[in-house]
Amino acid sequence: MKQLLFLLLFLPLLGLSQPFTFVPDDNFEQALINLGVDFQLDDYVETQGIDSITYLYIPSNSIADLTGVEDFTALRELYCHSNQLTFLDLSNNSQLFEVSCGNNQLTSMDVRNGNNQGLWYFNSMNNQALNCIDVDDVAWADYNWARDTWTSFSTNCSVVTVIDDKLPNKRLLKVVDIFGRTISPKPNIPLLYIFDDGTVEKKLFVE
């Protein structure tokens, strides 16, 4: 009888509980608190409080991890430049229109959100270790987005990563075609890989 009474009292409360989003970086969560989005530094924020936010301006906050941004599903504008980010996954943010993520420490970035042509402003400049960005539409990114000369766009950056892992003592500056035009790595096309030590390697990946 007591167990039945307990269930009757607390079952409605369980049904009203809100889902939470994990935000492990204290600096990111503090920035959300400063914006009035969150209220307590506890590594969690109510998902219902962030899934309708369209504008997020959080530069220069020493943020190293933006885990949790995937639940900002209505996000249109993201300004996270001048932080300490090493990776950034925006594949769940399909409404993005503007992204500023320059002046970080990015080594990997995923913008395969299914709507690259909706992203009109993109700037990832001054990320010294960012050799490749995963995208859905390489042609669109190449023509419209700003990135460092050593950073390429690809639908599968794992190919470029494997190449870099085999050459730990030199960094890829850019990839060009046989006419000298900068191009993102693509299969079935002979390409020239230019490295910071002055060497040039011709490669052809067959798919």
pLDDT attached to residue 168: 46
Would you say residue 133 has pLDDT above 50?
A: yes
Please measure the distance between the N-terminal and C-terminal CA atoms of the chain and give it in whole angstroms. 67
Tokens 């167990």, residue? 3
pLDDT attached to residue 175: 74
Cα separation, 191 vs 203, whole angstroms: 5
Whether 47 and 69 have beta carbons less than 8 Å apart is answered as no
Helix (H, G, I), strand (E, B) or coil at 69: helix
pTM for the model stands at 0.70
Give pLDDT tens digits for 75-128.
999 999 999 999 999 999 999 999 999 999 999 999 999 999 999 999 999 999
Tokens of 94: 């399909």
pLDDT attached to residue 21: 97
Would you say residue 71 has pLDDT above 80?
A: yes
Mean pLDDT for the stretch of residues 132-141: 95
What the chain holds in terms of domains, given with CATH numbers, is 19-167 (3.80.10.10)
For the chain, what is the radius of gyration of the CA atoms?
21
